[in-house]
Structure 1
Amino acid sequence: MSELRAVALICSLKPSPAPSSTELLASQVLDQLAGHGVAVAPPIRLVDYDVKPGVDADMGDGDQWPEVRQAIRDADILVFATPTWLGHMSSVAQRALERLDAELSDTDAGGRPAMLGKVAVTAVVGNEDGAHKIIADVFQGLNDIGFTIAAQGGTYWNGEAMQGTDYKDLDGPPEPVAVTTANAARNATHLATALNSRQYPPY
């Protein structure tokens, strides 16, 4: 059986090298995955790329989505990480889902969409509420595209309401977050291993 691979798509609004709570939580998921023997690719902070709006695999005119797309296609596990803004996922995260929509029309000889058989987990941070709704929206979108959702595959941190502490300001992950992150990574690894050995049947 080939080695499992994972990549994190960081949908922060902050370009590198600005510190990012979103990237921090995603990196903690990746560390847990690595602990289960999963090969981890460098995380992709999407705002660092010129990703054009649209729903095609390549929008041309300098569009850098094809590079991001290839990294996702090369992985067995996608960690989709987004901050919370005004109670919703970031605009960068929404654009990523819109661009992934093109994968529905890219099918193999069995009629299966390109992303079928890949596993997805989410990581959401914010100093306001909204994480549960964001996870639900992200998972619905990724499931439509063909990703399989790991059991308890969403980890998140919401800061106390009406204050400005960020996840990256903490001394470390609170125990409930650490446990949830570990569970998501363990379940994702188990599911990806199963799908790697027995793919979905042809359409």
Structure 2
Amino acid sequence: MGRPDPSGDFAGLRALYINCTLNRSPVLSHTQGLIDRSAALMQRNGVEVDRFRAVDHDIAVGVRPDMTEYGRQSDEWPELLQRVLAADILVLAGPIWLGDNSSVMRHVIERLYGYSGVLNDKGQYAYYGRVGGCLLTGNEDGLKHCAMSILFSLQHIGYTIPPQADAGWIGEVGPGPSYLDPGSGGPENDFTNRNTSFMTYNLMHLAAMLRREGGIPARGNLRSEWDAGCRMENANPEHR
């Protein structure tokens, strides 16, 4: 999995992996197997790792930070959101079904979206200064399509995406073994392991860079200034 980074630049970073499997714990999750490889590499480099399966929690449907304020009887997302906000790195991971992301993945992205309009202490959108990536498993095609959808969603709500921010494993097209099944070749697949390592290090590198720089500079991206009439590309003489 690689040697620990001798500079110690990653110490103090926190990462969260959300597993969007359809299987509740303790049922086997093939996606968890790939998560564990990436998470172990982060931990070896001093990154604090958190993880959970979304289906193990009562996450209400909706696009508001707390759906109990909109008629739902219960919603664990507000507590889970605190774990999202505590992380410098967010990795969304899940299976491929019918060539697309799982329903659980879309559910999690919708709930992440529900907080994206909140502002941070700089006045930027809440997820600015955080880094995102994704991991995928399946025994059909669709890996790049799923990654494209996830990474677009993450950057759209404010996450910064490093180079090569996705990795995954798919078996032969058609019915066959999944990632952790005996004889699948998944855990030994050099292409998957290389991409997982590159993705993991790129996430750590970019998160450390953002931390050193204090996040994304607050220039030209503040909603309050735009609403007040400030236009970086065209000075407004009426604005004071």
How far apart are the structure 2 equivalents of 1:108 and 1:75?
14
Give the TM-score taking structure 1 as reference length: 0.95
Determine if contact 1:153/1:184 at 8 Å carries over to the other structure.
yes
Which range moves more in the overlay, 83-92 or 168-177? Answer: 168-177
Report matched runs for 1:164-203 at 5 Å. 164-169=176-181, 170=184, 172-198=187-213, 199-202=215-218, 203=222
Task: Output the amino acid matched with 1:49.
Answer: H
CA shift at 1:35, angstroms?
2.1
| Count of matched residue positions in the alignment of Structure 1 and Structure 2 | 202
SS at 2:67's partner residue? coil
Residues 1:9 and 2:36 aligned together: no
Report matched runs for 1:67-106 at 5 Å. 67-106=79-118
How far apart are the structure 2 equivalents of 1:56 and 1:126?
31
CA shift at 1:79, angstroms?
1.2
Bigger proportion of residues as strand: 1
1:31 corresponds to: 40
Structure number with higher relative contact order (C-alpha < 8 Å, ≥ 6 residues apart): 1
Give the TM-score taking structure 2 as reference length: 0.81
Task: Output the amino acid matched with 2:17.
Answer: A
User: What is the root-mean-square deviation of aligned Cα atoms in Å?
Assistant: 1.3
SS at 1:168's partner residue? coil
Deviations 1:60-99 (A, max 9, x none): 1210111211111111111110100111100000011111
Unmatched tracts of structure 2, length 5 or more: 1-8, 223-240
Deviations 1:23-61 (A, max 9, x none): 1111111111112221112x1100011111100011012
Unmatched tracts of structure 1, length 5 or more: none
**Identity score, percent:** 35
Which range moves more in the overlay, 193-202 or 105-114? Answer: 105-114
SS at 2:162's partner residue? strand
